[in-house]
Amino acid sequence: MNDTDAGTDADTDAGGEAAPRRRRSGGRATGERSRLPPQRPWAQPRLRYRPTEAVSADELESIHEASLRILEEIGMDFLDGEARARLAAAGARLEPGSERVRFDRGMVTELIRTAPATFTLHARNPAHDLTIGGDHLAFGAVSSAPYVSDLEGGRRIGNRVDFQNLVRLAQMLETVHFFGGYPVEPVDLHASVRHLDAFYDLLTLADKPLHAYSLGRGRNRDCLEMVRIARGVDDATLDREPSIFTVINSSSPLRLDTPMLHGILEYSSRNQVIVITPFTLAGAMAPVTLAGALAQQNAEALAGVVMTQVVRPGSPVVYGGFTSNVDMQSGAPAFGTPEYMRTAMVGGQLARRYGLPYRSSNVCAANAVDAQAAYESVFSLWGAVMGGVNLLMHGQGWMEGGLHAGFEKMILDADLLQMVSAFLDPIAVDEDTLGLDAIREVGPGGHFFGAAHTQSRYRTAFHKPMLSDWRNFESWQEAGSPEATAKASQVSKELLAAYQPPAIDPAVEEELAAFVERRKTEGGVPTDF
Amino acid sequence: MNDTDAGTDADTDAGGEAAPRRRRSGGRATGERSRLPPQRPWAQPRLRYRPTEAVSADELESIHEASLRILEEIGMDFLDGEARARLAAAGARLEPGSERVRFDRGMVTELIRTAPATFTLHARNPAHDLTIGGDHLAFGAVSSAPYVSDLEGGRRIGNRVDFQNLVRLAQMLETVHFFGGYPVEPVDLHASVRHLDAFYDLLTLADKPLHAYSLGRGRNRDCLEMVRIARGVDDATLDREPSIFTVINSSSPLRLDTPMLHGILEYSSRNQVIVITPFTLAGAMAPVTLAGALAQQNAEALAGVVMTQVVRPGSPVVYGGFTSNVDMQSGAPAFGTPEYMRTAMVGGQLARRYGLPYRSSNVCAANAVDAQAAYESVFSLWGAVMGGVNLLMHGQGWMEGGLHAGFEKMILDADLLQMVSAFLDPIAVDEDTLGLDAIREVGPGGHFFGAAHTQSRYRTAFHKPMLSDWRNFESWQEAGSPEATAKASQVSKELLAAYQPPAIDPAVEEELAAFVERRKTEGGVPTDF
pLDDT in tens, A43-53: 999 999 999 99
SS3 A309: helix
For residue A63, list chain B residues with Cβ-Cβ distance below 8 A. Answer: 429, 434
Q: What is the Cα–Cα distance from A423 to A415, expressed in whole angstroms?
A: 12
pLDDT above 50 (res B19): no
| Cβ–Cβ < 8 Å for A119, A133 | yes
* Residue of B427, B456, B469 to mutate, testing the A interface (most A Cβ within 10 Å of its Cβ): B427
Band (pLDDT 50/70/90 cuts) for residue B16 is: very low
pLDDT of residue B331: 87
Lowest-confidence pick of A76-80, A187-191, B27-31, B216-220: B27-31
Lowest-confidence pick of A92-101, B1-10, B439-448: B1-10
| Cβ–Cβ < 8 Å for B148, B155 | yes
Phi, psi (5° rounding) for residue A33? -70, -30
pLDDT of residue B233: 98
The mean predicted confidence, pLDDT, of chain B is 93
Searching chain A, which residue's CA lies closest to the CA of residue B70?
A: A436
Fill in the amino acid letter for B46. R
pLDDT of residue A301: 98
Decide if A11 touches B, using CB distance below 8 A. yes
Searching chain B, which residue's CA lies closest to the CA of residue A459?
A: B328
SS3 B48: coil
| Cβ–Cβ < 8 Å for B167, B202 | yes
Nearest Cα neighbor of A358 from A349, A366, A367 is A349
Cis peptide before A253 (omega within 30 of 0): yes
For residue A286, list chain B residues with Cβ-Cβ distance below 8 A. Answer: 448
Decide if A152 touches B, using CB distance below 8 A. no
Q: What is the Cα–Cα distance from B207 to B28, expressed in whole angstroms?
A: 16
pLDDT of residue B102: 98
The pLDDT tens digits for A368-391 are 999 999 999 999 999 999 999 999
Across the strands, what pairs with A147? A157, A404
Q: B 443-462 residues with CB below 8 A of A?
A: 443-449, 451, 453-454, 457-459, 461-462
* Residue of A429, A440, A441, A491 to mutate, testing the B interface (most B Cβ within 10 Å of its Cβ): A429
Q: What is the Cα–Cα distance from A147 to A369, expressed in whole angstroms?
A: 15
**Per-residue pLDDT averaged across B301-308, rounded?**
98
Band (pLDDT 50/70/90 cuts) for residue A415 is: very high
pLDDT of residue B12: 38
Decide if B480 touches A, using CB distance below 8 A. no
For residue B439, list chain A residues with Cβ-Cβ distance below 8 A. Answer: 70, 74, 253-254, 287, 292, 295-296
The pLDDT tens digits for A116-165 are 999 999 999 999 999 999 999 999 999 999 999 999 999 999 999 999 99
Instruction: State the DSSP code for A239.
Output: H
Q: B 28-87 residues with CB below 8 A of A?
A: 49-50, 52-55, 59, 62-63, 66, 69-70, 73-77
Q: What is the Cα–Cα distance from B289 to B317, expressed in whole angstroms?
A: 27
Q: Please, what is the Cα angle at B415 between B414 and B416, to 5 degrees?
A: 90
Q: What are the residue ranges of helices labelled H in A183-216? A: 194-205
Nearest Cα neighbor of A218 from A260, A266, A185, A186 is A266
pLDDT of residue B1: 32
For residue B76, list chain A residues with Cβ-Cβ distance below 8 A. Answer: 444
For residue A328, list chain B residues with Cβ-Cβ distance below 8 A. Answer: 458-459, 461-462
B258-269 helix and B81-89 helix, angle to the nearest 10 degrees: 60
DSSP string, A51-72: PP-SS-HHHHHHHHHHHHHIII
Nearest Cα neighbor of A73 from A329, A254, A336 is A254
Q: What is the Cα–Cα distance from B281 to B159, expressed in whole angstroms?
A: 29
Of A334, A338, A425, the CB nearest to B470: A334
Tell me which H or E stretch contains A319.
strand A317-320
The pLDDT tens digits for B59-109 are 999 999 999 999 999 999 999 999 999 999 999 999 999 999 999 999 999
Q: Do A448 and B483 touch (CB under 8 A)?
A: no
Decide if A98 touches B, using CB distance below 8 A. no
For the four alpha carbons of A366, A370, A372 and A378, in that order, the dihedral sign comes to positive
Q: Do B428 and A76 touch (CB under 8 A)?
A: no
Q: What is the pTM assigned to this prediction?
A: 0.94
Decide if B291 touches A, using CB distance below 8 A. yes
pLDDT above 90 (res A453): yes
SS3 B14: helix
Searching chain A, which residue's CA lies closest to the CA of residue B401?
A: A470
**Per-residue pLDDT averaged across B401-405, rounded?**
98
Q: Do A290 and B100 touch (CB under 8 A)?
A: no
Q: What is the Cα–Cα distance from B365 to B359, expressed in whole angstroms?
A: 19
Which residues, at least 6 apart from A56, have a Cβ–Cβ distance to it below 8 Å?
Answer: none
Cis peptide before A333 (omega within 30 of 0): no
